[in-house]
Amino acid sequence: MRILGIDPGLAIVGFGFIDKEGNKMTPVQYGSIQTKAHTPEEERLRDVYESMVQLIEKYKPDQVAVEKLFFSRNVTTALPVAQARGVLLLAAVQKNLPIAEYTPMMVKQAVVGYGKAEKKQVQEMVKLLLKLSAVPKPDDVADALAVAVCHAHSVSLNSKLNEVLRK
């Protein structure tokens, strides 16, 4: 199964494709979509959408995992990020891909084993779990891979739960 993990944003969208076979997770491709500051927001949204469509068409994921937005203070930032998240979801839905959403706490729990883990701990675990030589940069890329790893763990747990429930 190929999973696309996404850390949404307007300036930087982190993405990470991983393959999951049994308990093994292998990175396929990861990076970021970056838009230029001082460009009209609608153009940035178009660029995010078109770039994500190209990535989906090239790497053909089976499932998509997206980080849910959590903003406690800065509503000004929340709106453009929410709009970017919307066009990212649209790109996946138009390709008929199943989408799973995870809160930052769920991602930390799945990757580190502690829902209040520090960002650095999550990044180091992503590096370790995917056998990377370095923590991916910018941080949004490591976050996207963490979302993909979280989904890989969730898929395993859900399939095991379904097996038990069928018996």
What SS3 class is residue 120? helix
Cis omega (within 30 of 0) for bond into 40:
no
Q: Could you give the CA distance from residue 116 to residue 104 in angstroms, rounded to a whole number?
A: 9
Q: State how far the Cα of 66 lies from the Cα of 74, in Å rounded to an integer.
A: 20
- CA 128-131-132 angle, to 5 degrees, is 95
- Helices assigned H by DSSP within the chain: 41-59, 75-94, 104-112, 119-129, 139-166
- 137 CB-near residues (< 8 Å, 6+ apart): none
Catalytic site positions: 7, 67, 140
Residue 58 · residue 17 · CB < 8 Å: no
